[in-house]
Chains A and B, each alone.
Chain A
Amino acid sequence: MKFKTFLQRTAIAFSLMLAATGVLAAPLSYQLRVDGLACPFCAYGIEKKLNAIEGVERVETNIKDGAVIVIMQDGFTLDEATARKAVKEAGFSLRKLEPAQSVPNAGPR
């Protein structure tokens, strides 16, 4: 094996290993299905409550689908109980929380 090929393969293997351990993974994001959300003025309360959760980078709402994407800062995760509480405080109901990207089995921080 040529040295150049060896370096390329080593680099690829190392990258795959880092990705598998989450070191190179993109920030975690979650999709929340929110029931009862039907107007822009109401979306503000949900976004405000979710943005107040520690580690939340930003929140994006798709009112048509009743979906709210929560993007976390590096190293933070969001659990369903915390999301449910925030949505409830905004006056609405959380139907489902699901990872928008692969999420390791880590608890909330």
Chain B
Amino acid sequence: MKTLIKTGLSILCVWAGTAWGAPITFNTALPVHEGGYVLREQFIYMKIADDPTPAQRDMRVSGVMSVLGYGVTSDFALFGMLPWFNKRLDMTMGGEALTRRESGVGDLTVLGRYTAFQRDTPGRTLRIAPFLGVKAPTGEEDARDGFGRLPPAVQPGSGSWDALGGAVVTWQTLDLQIDGQAGYQASREAKGFQPGNVLRIDASLQYRLWPRNLGADVPAFLYGVLEASLAHSARDRIGGADDPNSGGTTLSITPGLQYVTRKWIVEAGIQIPLNQHLNGTALRNDYVITTGFRINF
């Protein structure tokens, strides 16, 4: 069942690393100025249900992702991402409804991003930036309740050191911005559970809705945002064996809005699955609502 969290929460945890007028659900190649910081707070609410089994599992996750980016140089930026989760799993067992829940700080991800290609022209920029990171097991991964140890999906942390990497390309003009990203997260085993590795391909279009015409200063921009995400998760492994009810492929879209000023950005989007090919009885994402802000300093 970890898969349902993995594909859904990837919006919050691994790929939401950066700032700027940028995608809502993943990264960008735009710069953090040297010696500067960008703080991002992202709030999410996720519902995962449609359980085909008699257990009628229904999971809801709310959380906050805090991201701090620092421009080491104009080409190299470091990001630290720390989530806080409140997870709740409702299910039926033996004809009785039961709830299992946990909240707490999740795993810390540290990510480095290097601008390997940059081509600037008047009012336009094209950049390609590979990134590499590590996720440290800072979150609780052995939380228990009256029924025993909570399932991995309800634990705030994974308990494992994981690696992630990929590359993002950004093409920005005064009117619109297009971002694309390919990323891979390799997870390791902890306490007999190993989440399946995740491959994600993302694309984002941000189009300036307002102001329609630019004047002789720096007005705030209102962007309409449309993003697509294709995520494939391998099967989880439990006790060294594949879990047949885990893993699969999800295609989602995220329409949203972004209001961008010099100093801050506010944004909101809702991720809706278009197509889900999940293995066995793996739960399906219903939707993910994300809102947040970013501050430049």
Which of B27-35, B146-154, B196-204, B271-279 contacts the other chain?
A: B27-35
> Which of A19-27, A34-42, A72-80, A100-108 lines the interface with chain B?
A34-42
Q: Are A40 and B261 in touch, CB under 8 angstroms?
A: yes
Residue B123, interface by CB 8 Å: yes
Q: A77–B174 Cα gap in the complex (Å)?
A: 31
Provided the pairs A36-B124, A91-B74 are in contact, do residues A41 and B33 lie with their beta carbons within 8 angstroms? no
B10 interface residue per 8 A CB criterion = no
Kindly name the residue among A45, A90, A93 whose own CB sees the greatest number of chain B CB atoms within 10 A: A45
The answer on a CB contact under 8 Å between A89 and B34 is yes
How far, in angstroms, from A93 to B177 measured CA to CA in the complex?
A: 19
Please report the C-alpha to C-alpha distance between residue A44 and residue B118 in the assembled complex, in whole angstroms: 19
Shortest distance between the CB of B70 and any CB in chain A (Å): 13
Chain B binding surface SS class: loop
Interface string of B1-38 (1 = CB under 8 A from A): 00000000000000000011100000000111111100
Task: Point out the residue from B173, B215, B262 that lies within 8 Å of A41, measured CB to CB.
Answer: B262
Mark B204-234 against chain A: 1 for CB-CB distance below 8 A, else 0.
0000000000111111110000000000000
If A37-B123, A40-B218, A44-B296 touch, whether A89 touches B172 (CB-CB below 8 Å) is: no
CA gap between A95 and B119 in the complex, in Å: 12
Which of the residues A33, A44, A48 comes within 8 Å of B122, measured between beta carbons? A33
Whether A41 touches B125, Cβ cut-off 8 Å, given contacts A48-B36, A63-B218, A91-B74, is: no
- Can you report 26 A-B residue pairs in the complex whose CB atoms are below 8 A from each other? A35-B120, A35-B125, A36-B121, A38-B123, A39-B20, A39-B30, A39-B172, A40-B221, A41-B20, A41-B21, A43-B262, A46-B33, A47-B262, A48-B33, A48-B36, A49-B34, A61-B218, A66-B122, A88-B74, A89-B35, A89-B73, A90-B31, A91-B31, A91-B32, A91-B33, A95-B122
* Residues of B in contact with A (beta carbons under 8 Å apart): 19-21, 30-36, 71, 73-75, 115, 118, 120-125, 172-174, 177, 214-221, 260-263, 265, 294, 296
Chain A interface (Cβ within 8 Å of chain B)? 33, 35-49, 60-66, 88-93, 95
